[in-house]
Chains A and B, each alone.
Chain A
Amino acid sequence: MSDLIGYKRPAPGTQPNYLHAPYQSSIKRAPNKPLIRMPQTLTELTGPVYGHERVGPLDNDLTKQHAGEPLGERMILSGRLLDENGRPVPHSLIEIWQANACGRYPHPGDQHDAPLDPNFTGYGRTVTDSEGRYRFVTIKPGAYPWRNHHNAWRPQHIHFSLFGPSFMTRLVTQMYFPGDPLLPFDPIFNCVTDQRARDSMVSKFDFETTIPEFALGYAWDIVLRGRDATPMENKK
Chain B
Amino acid sequence: MTLVPTASSTVGPYLHIGLTPLQVYDIAKDASKGEKIVISGRVFDGEGQPVPDALLEFWQANADGKYATPEDSQDKPLDGKFTGFGRIPTDKEGRFSFTTVKPGAVPGPGNTLQAPHILVCVFMRGMLKHLYTRIYFSDEAAANANDPVLGLIEDASRKPTLIGERTAGKAEYRWDIRMQGEGETVFFDC
Contacts and interface: CB of A to CB of B under 8 A. Distances in A.
Contacts of B181: 32
A96 B19 CA distance: 9
Interface stretch (A66-74, A119-127, A129-137, A207-215): A119-127
Interface residues of A, number: 80
Interface in A13-27: 14-18, 20, 23, 25-27
A66 B49 CA distance: 38
B83 interface: yes
A172 B190 contact: no
A52 interface: no
Interface in B138-190: 148-149, 152-153, 158, 179-181, 184-190
A230 interface: no
A143 to B, nearest CB: 14
B126 A25 contact: yes
A37 to B, nearest CB: 5
Contacts of A17: 128
B71 A46 contact: yes
A86 B18 contact: no
A48 B7 contact: no
A219 interface: no
Contacts of B108: 41-42
Contacts of B132: 44, 167
A82 B69 contact: no
A198 B187 contact: no
B5 A223 contact: yes
Contacts of A96: 18
Contacts, number: 244
Interface in A212-226: 222-226
Nearest to A14: B4
A40 B149 CA distance: 10
A36 B126 contact: no
Given A41-B109, A48-B59, A95-B19, A33 B184 contact: yes
B22 A54 contact: yes
Nearest to B106: A42
B189 A95 contact: no
Contacts of A145: none
Given A28-B47, A31-B180, A46-B71, A38 B17 contact: no
Given A41-B149, A44-B190, A45-B71, A106 B22 contact: no
Given A107-B14, A121-B17, A165 B4 contact: no
B38 interface: no
B128 A23 contact: yes
Given A1-B107, A29-B179, A33-B184, A42 B7 contact: no
Contact of A201 (B9, B22, B59, B123): B9
21 contacts: A3-B73, A25-B125, A29-B124, A31-B131, A35-B131, A35-B187, A35-B188, A38-B189, A38-B190, A39-B109, A41-B114, A45-B71, A46-B59, A47-B69, A47-B85, A95-B21, A97-B14, A107-B13, A161-B11, A172-B11, A174-B9
Interface of B: 1-19, 21-22, 45-47, 49, 51, 53, 57, 59-61, 67-74, 83-85, 106-110, 114, 117, 119, 121, 123-132, 134, 148-149, 152-153, 158, 179-181, 184-190
